């Protein structure tokens, strides 16, 4: 008996177990059915919480033990158990515990010839199989055989029972043990034949759910490798491909296309990349190795370097949101850890070496007394202000450096190898006929052989003429300076060719470029084209047209019908190119140096194209599980022909862009490793052009060096204190520049010098991750603004001393890596305890910050510029104790904690003045996985309240005036300038300011742009419109509603209805519903009024 305080539902469930007569049990079942049908799923879940599943199982056992069973009671129990069971996640475990599983299988055996009873048994078996152990138990007792035999070839009878059998088989195949059994018994072949039969004979398209259920069953059956192999061996991919082609153009059958495509993707045989090794083509001997770093021969083996297996593929970004990770578990919850400042990682005595990096504190400004200007450095001065010994081979390397504007033959390369890359200003004159001849030669494909020849006596060089026509239009860029800077740059491969876009320069596009519109089902189209490779291998060319590992020339006349590729230049990354079809190419990226991972950045040259022909490019070894390429982002393209015609710029390009998981895997065939394809189509404007394609707007180390020289020449040394120094040398020996920018004192008076030397410091860094080239463009904007004559820039120089490290990872940038330095490590994970030998730039950057802190000049602001590949807009990550503890659900009472809220000042200002900035995308959480990043270490160890990571999207904005637009270099540079402008708001609350600062602050406050980011917090992109993965369950109708409708129809039908060919199935829903209500009243006379049901 139920307890006196029990609810009405509990009384009903207790009575159901104890009821002895048929009428009482039917009445209780009727009440429960009405009660659960009248409400929502909440009522069913409440019933489950009160032991509803156990009561129904007990009633089932009590009724089934009678010989013969009373089906008048048994059928309603089975129907109700099916409706309740599929909402109870533990129904299978409960059934095993009650020993009802095999009883249910026995009932199915007894009723194989009764369609109505068999359907009810099958639904209960289906819900029992929610537990894998239950499914396995049924399989061991020949449940698979029994259910499979209930699935006939195409028929018009007992459709409901056939559907129930297929669904039950699919549920049984959730167990991998059952999957293997099914494969061994040939069920894959049988299911494929059944699907083909139902598909071909269902001419009226009335039984689409049956075909869909069979696909669902095949999906479960191929959850094991043997199942997938069996489907391929039985011709399943061919069958599904043909079916898909039919369904795409048949009205009413579109719902079969996506499940079939996903199944084909899943079963497509895995294929290792056509590489000799997963390791990068380039390796670099680390300190302590016996080999000289420059005695290097490119190799594909890389046996001496192991993969960096300790880092996570998707979780190793300061700028990336981790996948499949609970953020609350990652948040730091230890208050002491958040508040306590660790001891310095080095003795204070070692900090004296950084005195030289604060020249503004020791400079005597003698030029102010004499009124003379400081002498500008000559072209022969060191570009980097480093040790003289660093110029170890400039003369030899300068002579071998040459510019690359188009593909060359071996002979043409050899004839130019000895010519200098820098071009002297010729003093000769040309005749009109010679000028016309040179104009004809001014073509992209001839640029390489004509532009950078050594100076011929009596003739001006082609470069001089081109610079006269176009060079002046690119501010802060001089091709001659770039070539000179590139000659000093050390690369692993010894690059001797310049990429034309970096040499010639880039002008921002006029106006923002809209995000690409994704055509419906574009991914499906591309996947089907990929599947055709497997079905029709004879149509595939499969010709290697470029390979970094092959020393033989790749751009030869042997490939007249192919594009020509090249990537052996600074920042370049393309390891291999394979021509798949006439106008389609598979591209493989090179891993980061000394690793086998981090494939994302690409930058390569392509030539030999035909105009107005769509070329498809597939980058097939991407690693991240999603990309902004699925949300409107496009790669960038630079055309040499367009540049020579006066339009030297990178532009967004590409159509039919999508990013999805493919069937390729590493050569080591690691089970957990997989790759993704980025595919895009480019239609070139010109025949035989030379073009460059890149992940994002490239910005090379040599560009930075040339740009810094241009900036130093552009400033007035009497007003702007601009010093470029060498922070340290990298592993490869490339200097890492550190820039100091501030305003010169108005005089040598004590007051002026005191004001200068007491200005707070602002430290800016960028490009610790080489593939985040957008960070360099933002930094370029900051540098140019701080050196400009803008009144706000003048106020900033008078208010702050800027210490800028514009490129923390020069070696990675030079060698075209995406994330790591030559050590194979992510430098933004080395700030906690940087190794001076392996991570010198981080070691000395941190040491310099320690030095500033030790002399009482702790930076007011520290910001590390980054790029973000999965989010839109620009935003900041900061550090806050209170917000971290509050977000993590810590037991610490955050209301009692005192914390300076000043870390929010800059983000709030940027939200108002910077159109690309989104305040609502910012967060200030301290995560355990980010403990060794620059932001967290500088905040925790150096004590900088405003320590930030500024993330700039590769794509564009989804709010503000740039909504729907992709970020270009102009917008990125604007963001760099806006960040600097936002610093002026910090001077309002200090005492070290003058009237000029106040007047210039009004310019900022009265800015015509009143930008506010959107009010809703958007964390990540919504799910892609098409499935990126293919291991996710096939989409289907909601199982609950579908099963409920089937059970209800079976509950109120008779066996005679099932025997009719189609009459029952053709009834309209309204007629069926009315008929069901009449039958319900006849079978279960209502004993309770509606208000009584509500009270229960």
Catalytically annotated residues: 951
CA distances from 882 to 83, 334, 863, 892, 907 (A): 47, 12, 21, 9, 17
Q: Residue 628 burial (CB < 10 Å; 0-12/13-18/19+)?
A: buried
3-class secondary structure, 345: coil
802 within 8 A of 738, measured Cβ to Cβ: no
Q: Tell me how far apart the alpha carbons of residues 713 and 704 are, in angstroms, rounded to a whole number.
A: 14
39 within 8 A of 1093, measured Cβ to Cβ: no
Q: How many residues does the chain have?
A: 1096
Closest CA to 376 of 722, 627, 638: 722
What token pair was written down for 1065?
């199935």
- The DSSP code sequence of 980-996 is HHHGGGGGGGSS---HH
CA distances from 768 to 572, 725, 972 (A): 17, 18, 17
Q: Tell me how far apart the alpha carbons of residues 604 and 384 are, in angstroms, rounded to a whole number.
A: 27
Q: How much helix, strand and coil, in percent to the nearest 5, is found in the chain?
A: 45, 10, 40
Q: Tell me how far apart the alpha carbons of residues 1027 and 946 are, in angstroms, rounded to a whole number.
A: 40
The continuous run of DSSP H or E covering 514 comes out as strand 513-514
The continuous run of DSSP H or E covering 657 comes out as strand 655-661
CA distances from 692 to 282, 309, 444, 643 (A): 22, 33, 12, 12
Which residues make Cβ contacts (< 8 Å) with residue 477, sequence separation at least 6? 505, 506, 706, 707, 710
Q: Tell me how far apart the alpha carbons of residues 128 and 100 are, in angstroms, rounded to a whole number.
A: 10
Maximum Cα–Cα distance across the chain = 118
The continuous run of DSSP H or E covering 966 comes out as strand 965-966
Q: Residue 517 burial (CB < 10 Å; 0-12/13-18/19+)?
A: exposed
Closest CA to 383 of 482, 492, 497, 496: 482
679 within 8 A of 629, measured Cβ to Cβ: no
What angle is formed at CA 360 by the lines to CA 359 and CA 364, rounded to 5 degrees?
95
Q: Tell me how far apart the alpha carbons of residues 53 and 43 are, in angstroms, rounded to a whole number.
A: 13
Q: CB 227: neighbour CB atoms within 10 A?
A: 24
3-class secondary structure, 180: helix
Q: From its phi and psi, is residue 289 left (phi > 0), alpha (psi between -120 and 50) or beta?
A: beta
What token pair was written down for 1007?
């800015």
CA distances from 722 to 645, 729, 738 (A): 36, 21, 11
The continuous run of DSSP H or E covering 28 comes out as helix 22-38
Closest CA to 91 of 76, 101, 106: 101
CA distances from 520 to 517, 524, 662, 717, 843 (A): 9, 9, 20, 58, 50
CA distances from 850 to 344, 349, 730, 859 (A): 8, 11, 20, 10
């Amino acid at each position: 008996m139920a307890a006196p305080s029990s609810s009405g539902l509990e009384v009903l469930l207790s009575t159901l177990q104890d009821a002895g007569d048929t009428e009482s049990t039917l009445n209780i079942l009727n009440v429960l059915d009405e009660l659960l049908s009248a409400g929502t799923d909440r009522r069913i879940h409440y019933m489950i919480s009160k032991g509803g599943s156990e009561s129904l199982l007990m009633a089932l056992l009590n009724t089934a033990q009678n010989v013969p069973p009373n089906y008048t009671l048994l059928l309603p129990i089975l129907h109700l158990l099916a409706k309740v069971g599929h909402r109870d996640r533990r129904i299978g475990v409960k059934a095993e515990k009650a020993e009802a599983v095999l009883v249910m299988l026995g009932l199915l055996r007894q009723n194989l010839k009764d369609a109505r009873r068999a359907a009810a048994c099958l639904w209960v078996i289906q819900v029992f199989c929610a537990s894998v152990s239950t499914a396995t138990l049924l399989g061991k007792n020949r449940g698979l055989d029994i259910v499979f035999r209930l699935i006939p070839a195409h028929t018009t009878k007992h459709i409901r029972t056939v559907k129930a059998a297929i669904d039950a088989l699919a549920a049984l195949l959730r167990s991998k043990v059952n999957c293997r059994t099914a494969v061994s018994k040939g069920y894959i072949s049988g299911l494929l034949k059944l699907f083909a039969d139902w598909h071909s004979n269902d001419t009226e398209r009335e039984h689409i759910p049956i075909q869909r259920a069979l696909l669902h069953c095949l999906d479960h059956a191929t959850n094991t490798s043997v199942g997938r192999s069996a489907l391929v061996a039985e011709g399943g991919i061919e069958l599904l491909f043909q079916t898909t082609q039919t369904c795409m153009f048949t009205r009413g059958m579109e719902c079969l296309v996506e499940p079939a495509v996903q199944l084909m993707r899943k079963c497509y045989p895995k294929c290792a990349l056509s590489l000799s090794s997963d390791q990068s083509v380039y390796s670099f001997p680390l300190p302590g190795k016996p080999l000289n770093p420059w005695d290097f021969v490119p190799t594909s083996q890389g046996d001496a370097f192991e993969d960096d297996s300790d880092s996570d593929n998707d979780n190793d970004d300061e700028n990336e949101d981790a996948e499949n990770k609970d953020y609350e578990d990652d948040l730091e919850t230890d208050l002491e850890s958040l508040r306590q400042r660790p001891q310095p990682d080095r003795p204070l005595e070692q900090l004296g070496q950084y005195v030289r990096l604060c020249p503004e504190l020791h400079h005597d400004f003698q030029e102010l007394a004499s009124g003379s200007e400081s002498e500008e450095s000559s072209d022969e001065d060191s570009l980097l202000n480093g040790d003289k010994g660093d110029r170890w081979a400039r003369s030899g390397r300068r002579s071998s450096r040459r510019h690359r504007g188009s593909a060359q033959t071996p002979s043409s390369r050899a004839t130019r190898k000895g010519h200098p890359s820098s071009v002297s200003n010729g003093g000769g004159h040309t005749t009109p006929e010679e000028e016309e001849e040179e104009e004809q030669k001014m073509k992209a494909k001839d640029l390489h052989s004509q532009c950078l020849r050594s100076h011929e006596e009596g003739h001006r060089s082609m470069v001089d003429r081109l610079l006269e026509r176009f060079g002046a239009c690119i501010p802060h860029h001089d091709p001659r300076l770039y070539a000179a800077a590139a000659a000093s740059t050390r690369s692993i491969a010894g690059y001797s060719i310049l990429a034309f876009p970096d040499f010639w320069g880039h002008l921002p596009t006029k106006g923002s470029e809209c995000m690409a519109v994704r055509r419906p089902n574009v991914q499906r189209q591309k996947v089907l084209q990929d599947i055709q490779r497997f079905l029709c291998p004879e149509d595939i060319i499969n010709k290697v047209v470029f390979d970094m590992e092959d020393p033989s020339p790749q751009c030869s006349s042997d490939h007249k019908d192919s594009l020509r590729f090249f990537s052996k230049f600074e920042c370049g990354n393309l390891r291999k190119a394979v021509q798949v079809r006439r106008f389609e190419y598979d591209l493989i990226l090179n891993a980061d140096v000394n690793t086998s991972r981090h494939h994302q950045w690409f930058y390569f040259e392509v030539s030999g194209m035909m105009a107005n022909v769509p070329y498809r490019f597939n980058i097939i070894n991407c690693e991240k599980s999603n990309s902004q390429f699925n949300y409107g982002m496009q790669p960038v393209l630079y055309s040499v022909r367009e540049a020579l015609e006066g339009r030297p710029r990178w532009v967004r390009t590409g159509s039919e862009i999508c990013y999805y998981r493919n069937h390729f895997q590493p050569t080591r065939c690691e089970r957990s490793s997989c790759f993704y394809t980025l595919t895009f189509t480019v239609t070139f404007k010109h025949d035989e052009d030379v073009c460059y394609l890149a992940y994002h707007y490239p910005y090379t180390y040599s560009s930075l060096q040339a740009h810094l020289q241009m900036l130093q020449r552009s400033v007035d040394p009497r007003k702007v204190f601009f010093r470029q120094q060498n922070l340290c040398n990298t592993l490869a020996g490339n200097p890492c520049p550190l820039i100091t920018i501030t305003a010169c004192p108005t005089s040598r008076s004590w007051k002026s010098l005191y004001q200068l030397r007491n200005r707070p410091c602002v430290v800016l860094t960028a490009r610790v991750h080489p593939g985040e080239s957008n960070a360099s463009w933002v930094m370029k904007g900051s540098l140019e603004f701080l050196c400009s004559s803008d009144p706000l820039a003048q106020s900033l120089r008078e208010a702050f001393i800027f210490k800028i490290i514009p490129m923390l990872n020069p070696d990675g940038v030079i060698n075209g890596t995406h994330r790591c330095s030559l050590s194979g490590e992510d430098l933004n994970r080395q700030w906690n305890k940087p190794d001076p030998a392996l991570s010198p730039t981080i070691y000395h950057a941190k040491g310099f910050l320690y030095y500033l802190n030790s002399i009482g000049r702790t930076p007011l602001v520290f910001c590390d510029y980054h790029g973000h590949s999965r989010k839109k807009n620009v935003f900041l990550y900061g550090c806050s104790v209170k917000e971290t503890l509050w977000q993590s659900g810590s037991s610490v009472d955050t209301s009692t904690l005192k914390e300076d809220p000043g870390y929010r000042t800059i983000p709030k200002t940027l939200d108002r003045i910077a159109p690309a900035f989104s305040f609502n995308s910012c967060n200030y959480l301290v995560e355990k996985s980010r403990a060794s990043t620059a932001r967290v270490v500088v905040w925790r160890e150096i004590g900088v309240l405003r320590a930030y990571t500024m993330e700039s999207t590769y794509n564009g904005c989804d709010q503000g005036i740039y909504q729907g637009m992709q970020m270009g270099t102009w917008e990125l540079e604007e963001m760099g300038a806006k960040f600097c402008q936002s610093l002026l708001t910090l001077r309002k609350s200090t005492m070290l300011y003058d009237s000029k600062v106040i007047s210039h602050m009004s310019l900022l406050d009265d800015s015509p742009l009143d930008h506010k980011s959107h009010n809703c917090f958007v964390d990540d992109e919504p799910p892609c419109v098409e499935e990126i993965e293919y291991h996710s369950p096939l989409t289907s109708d909601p199982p609950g509603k579908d099963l409920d409708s089937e059970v209800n129809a079976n509950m109120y039908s008779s066996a005679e209805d099932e025997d009719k060919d189609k009459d029952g199935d053709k009834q309209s829903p309204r007629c069926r519903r009315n008929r069901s209500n009449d039958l319900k009243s006849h079978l279960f006379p209502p004993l309770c009024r509606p208000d009584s049901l509500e009270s229960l």
